[in-house]
Homo-oligomer: A and B are copies of this chain.
Amino acid sequence: MKVNQIKIKKDMKVSELIEEFDGSGVLGSGRVSRACNLLAKMIADEDTNVFMSLGGPLVPGGLRFVISDMIKNGQVNLIVSSGANITHDLLESFGGSHYRDVGGDDEELNSQGIGRIADVYTSSEDFEIFEKEITKIFEKIASEKKVVSIQELLYEVGLLIDDENSILANAARNNVPIFAPGLIDSMFGLQLWMFNQDHDFTVDAVKDMHYLSDIVFNSEKVGGILLGGGLTKHYTLASNLLKGGLDMAIQITMDRPETGSLSGAPLEEAKSWSKAKCGSDLATVIGDVTVIFPLILAGALDKLDSD
């Protein structure tokens, strides 16, 4: 099969660009088109439960509405998030922001109360508000429950957030469970611990596995959208282990495979572990999530349209 040369023209739609990539089919552009096709298939298929993992600074990096909209539109059915993305989602719900074009070295930033994530900046004032607000929420929840799982806690928090753009709020209202096995490792987790010290409130680390495994067993098929690597990627894969693995998945990563770290591992490797089914449809794009995911999602939405 021949590699078609890509044509670029004025007024091009994203889906037309992806079609050009599809015609070429090789190197990065081939990977992008295959991931886009697979994303569209996953979303369109009513029998496929879509699990999405959120690793890396997706909310600080501008993907908060993208994720919220997918929840609202029923395009994602389950989320596995880092504690950081949950913290940053709430930080915006409580009136905080993420900032850019700040500059200065890290010691200067520190003296100004500014935290840095590559070229994204946060303000300690926003975090102070976060701390007050999340503590109030913990108080409400703890007044009714003494033992919660992480997923239950995030659900209860989501119900108490009044923000149409919030990932947690939309997830709670749309019955999209959020799992966060490493939640404790975040500003949210830190506040939870502080709250814990003088309240009778236990967060069970194991309890969520039961609910998660029920969802997996009750899914006809499971598709994975693996954004970033680390714990959230692995947990999403591993949750499907008991049923033979994911039926289809895309991942976007900038990490390398050679060190053996899961973040950069090819999805094919998951087949050996039964974390992806033998015969499953898998696509990896090497690139920055904040570029590649909006690109393939915009392309996929048009494919849905045409179905």
Contacts and interface: CB of A to CB of B under 8 A. Distances in A.
A42 interface: no
Interface stretch (A2-10, A128-136, A169-177, A217-225): A2-10
A297 B8 contact: yes
Interface stretch (A44-52, A117-125, A154-162): A117-125
Contact of A205 (B9, B183, B288): B183
Given A61-B29, A268-B106, A291-B287, A2 B210 contact: no
A225 to B, nearest CB: 13
Interface in A266-304: 268-274, 278-279, 286-292, 294-295, 297-298, 301-302, 304
Q: Of residues A1, A26, A61, A98, which shows the largest number of chain B Cβ atoms within 10 Å of its Cβ?
A: A26
Nearest to A80: B185
B295 A101 contact: no
A119 B26 contact: yes
Given A101-B1, A109-B272, A204-B205, A261 B24 contact: no
A4 B92 CA distance: 11
Nearest to A13: B13
B118 A257 contact: yes
A257 B258 CA distance: 11
A115 to B, nearest CB: 5
Interface of A: 1-15, 17, 20-21, 23-32, 55-57, 60-66, 69, 82, 84, 97-101, 105-107, 109-111, 114-120, 147, 150, 165, 181-186, 189-190, 192-193, 196-197, 202-210, 228-231, 234-235, 238, 241, 254-265, 268-274, 278-279, 286-292, 294-295, 297-298, 301-302, 304-305
